[in-house]
Amino acid sequence: MYVRVVRFTDVSAERIKALIARIEESGGPPPGVPATGLKLLYDDTQRTAVVLQHFDSLEDMQAGDRAFGAMDASETPGTRASVDMCESKLELTA
């Protein structure tokens, strides 16, 4: 599994609520994004968000990166601070 990790700053609680509503309404990833999963983490105190986008392959993650990179900044939770493209090496759950 591959994970695109995006960190945002200057994120308001209102923007997170609107983004969650839009994601839930859409029922899936945007066109051109072959993601298999999504996690949205939000720290209200620091006004930061971390988005974990899951993909089955490196190629899918790269395609998703191109699609997300082309998005208008108004479609993101805040100011994009960093993007990491990772291969998941370990995941533990209780």
Instruction: Give residue-wise pLDDT tens across range 75-85.
Output: 888 999 999 99
DSSP 44: T
> 0.85 cut: is pTM over it?
yes
The answer to whether residue 72 is domain-embedded is: yes
Residue range of the domain that includes 78: 2-87
pLDDT value of residue 30: 87
Task: Work out the burial of residue 93: count CB atoms within 10 Å of its CB; fewer than 13 is exposed, 13-18 middle, 19 or more buried.
Answer: exposed
The answer to whether residue 79 is domain-embedded is: yes
Q: What is the per-residue pLDDT across 17-56, written as a single tens digit (0 to 9) for each?
A: 999 999 999 988 988 899 999 999 999 999 999 999 999 9
Picking from 8-12, 54-58, 74-78, which range would have the lowest pLDDT averaged per residue?
74-78
Domain count, the chain: 1
